[in-house]
Structures are given as C-alpha cells and as structure tokens.
Amino acid sequence: GENVEQHPSTLSVQEGDSAVIKCTYSDSASNYFPWYKQELGKRPQLIIDIRSNVGEKKDQRIAVTLNKTAKHFSLHITETQPEDSAVYFCAADKKSGTYKYIFGTGTRLKVLA
C-alpha cells in the first residue's frame, strides 16, 4: 500500500547549524505535502507545505523542496535555535481528491545550545 518513509528518526545539531529531514512517498498521484512540528505534549502544528506544481518553498528559516520524479521531499531548517527542538512529521495526500494523508513516522530534532 501507499506509505511515506521519513529519515532520520533522530537528529542532533548544534545551535546555528542547519537541519535536513527527508521523506519519500510511494503514491505517484500525491499532490500535497505538509510538514508538521509537534512539541512535547502538544498538538501537531503545520509549519510549511508544498504543492506538486512547485519545486521549492521558503518561509524565513524553513524551506521545503520537492522532487516529483524521485518522489521525495525535504525540510530544511537553517540557523537552528533551541526552540526548533521538537518532533517533525512529513505527510503526503493519499490520492488527489480523497483528502486523506499518510504521515511519516517522525524525526526528533534536538538543537544543542
């Protein structure tokens, strides 16, 4: 069945360094790819998303890239800060029009001060 693989499962970086999280998806019909950040004990919150007609999107220190041919997309966080420490989830919509997502298993990011 369709799935989304996310790597790495844990990531530690020094404050100020960059962090990259990668996801691959299997459903070639997927068109929408959101990223969520979840702090401990809190709800997942959308931080950025990208649609299939766009290759890259930036929002301040956060960027997402999409390679539809290779079926992978990545989250890039630059100039990391301690408050970036959280679990990050990628997702892909299952098939166009069904409004369902498949989530990756998450990446625990630790930013070391």
* Residue 101 touches other proteins, criterion: CB under 8 A: yes
CB burial of residue 112 (10 Å; 0-12, 13-18, 19+): exposed
3-state secondary structure 10-40: EEEEECCCCEEEEEEECCCCCCEEEEEEECC
Q: To the nearest whole angstrom, how small is the minimum distance from the Cβ of residue 48 to other proteins?
A: 10
Binding segment for other proteins among 21-29, 57-65, 76-84, 85-93 (CB under 8 A)? Answer: 85-93
Q: Residue 67 interacts with other proteins (CB under 8 A)?
A: no
Cα angle value 24/26/32 (rounded, 5°): 75
Residues composing the chain: 113
- Least distance to other proteins from the beta carbon of 19, Å? 19
Q: Does 78 bind other proteins (CB under 8 A)?
A: no
In the bound state with other proteins, the residue whose beta carbon lies nearer, of 90 and 111, is 90
Q: Give the tokens for residue 105.
A: 């298993």
Per CB under 8 A, residues contacting other proteins are 6, 31-32, 34, 36, 42-46, 49, 51, 89, 91, 93, 96-97, 99-101, 103-106
